[in-house]
Amino acid sequence: MSEIVYGLHAVEVLLKRNSEAVEVLYVQSNRHDQRAHKLVKLAQSKDIPISQKSREELDEMTDQRHQGVIALSRQSKQKQFHEKHIPEILDAIDEPPFVLILDGVTDPHNLGACLRSADAAGVHMVIAPKDNAVGITDVVRKVACGAAESVPFVPVTNLARTMKQLQERNVWIAGTAGEAEQDIYQANLTGGLAIVMGAEGDGMRRLTRENCDFLIKIPMAGEVSSLNVSVATGVTLFEAVRQRTNSLKPA
């Protein structure tokens, strides 16, 4: 049984990490940009067949935003990441690390949506506690739309210890809390960064909060005091993306 993986980032990750499962790479026929060319060269280096398709033909394969590239892949068991893989993942990054920490998210729909936002924002890995939190399930995979396979999801036994491990690698940790003094638009979210999102309802646990370098909040203008964790994750991640992108532009 085969499945499709679409989008430039998701397909690139699949080709790099699990190329033996890829049956064919479909590329939009009028895409000649550098990113598409990079994927074609990567597929060719791994002897993966490449097929040119029109935009309309790709649209028929999925109603999602495919960005002109779709890989047909044999379903295979997702690689399981463990705490021991964290240094390895960090070592492979050639830019400031961008990490998402989910402190006890229990709803698989929320986890799937968070993973999807993480993939779209270019997050390098998602970390969550093993206990009292949802892991990767079929529901998570469906909601994530391929992001569960493209973004390393690392369950850990001791979140506070893992946070300290990140800090030792020059990764600053920003925790989200309604009582924070600075909002996401005032805070510096560039450089090595891990953003912590709390659980549905209760937010971050006390020990998690104490191990953050600083706290941030999303300014709320309406009567509702908080956002769903997956929505809040998307808003916060993409403010970080905006800042990080602008920081790379020449003055």
Residues 180 and 91 both lie in one domain: yes
**Res. 222 pLDDT band, cuts 50 70 90:** confident
How many other CB atoms are there within 10 angstroms of residue 14's CB atom? 21
d(C-alpha 166, C-alpha 192), whole Å? 9
Q: How many domains does the chain have?
A: 2
Residues 102 and 153 both lie in one domain: yes
Residues 100 and 204 both lie in one domain: yes
CB of 194 within 8 A of CB of 173? yes
- Binding annotation for S-adenosyl-L-methionine: 198, 218, 227
Task: Report pLDDT digits (tens) over 186-218.
Answer: 999 999 999 999 998 888 999 999 999 999 999
Among residues 10, 39, 74, the one where a domain terminates is 74
Residues 69 and 121 both lie in one domain: no
Task: Report pLDDT digits (tens) over 75-121.
Answer: 655 568 999 999 999 999 999 999 999 999 999 999 999 999 999 99
pLDDT at position 243 is 96
Q: Is 167 helix (H, G, I), strand (E, B) or coil?
A: helix
**Is the pLDDT confidence value at 138 over 70?**
no
Least confident of 15-19, 66-70, 73-77, 145-149: 73-77
Residues 62 and 114 both lie in one domain: no
CATH number of the domain at 212, please. Answer: 3.40.1280.10
Residues 156 and 211 both lie in one domain: yes
Residues 27 and 138 both lie in one domain: no
Residues 115 and 213 both lie in one domain: yes
**Is the pLDDT confidence value at 150 over 90?**
no
d(C-alpha 42, C-alpha 38), whole Å? 6
- Binding annotation: 198, 218, 227
CB of 195 within 8 A of CB of 100? yes
Count, in order, helices (H) and strands (E) of the chain. Answer: 10, 11
Residues 199 and 146 both lie in one domain: yes
Q: What is the extent of the structural domain holding 116?
A: 83-247
Residues 136 and 91 both lie in one domain: yes
CATH number of the domain at 62, please. Answer: 3.30.1330.30
pLDDT at position 6 is 77
Identify which of 219, 205, 2, 216 has the alpha carbon closest to the alpha carbon of residue 104: 205
What percentage of residues in the chain have a pLDDT greater than 90? Answer: 68
Among residues 18, 39, 74, the one where a domain terminates is 74
Encoded tokens for 219: 């300014």
- Distance (Å) of CA 206 to CA 44, 187, 210: 50, 21, 6
d(C-alpha 245, C-alpha 124), whole Å? 15
Q: Is 61 helix (H, G, I), strand (E, B) or coil?
A: helix
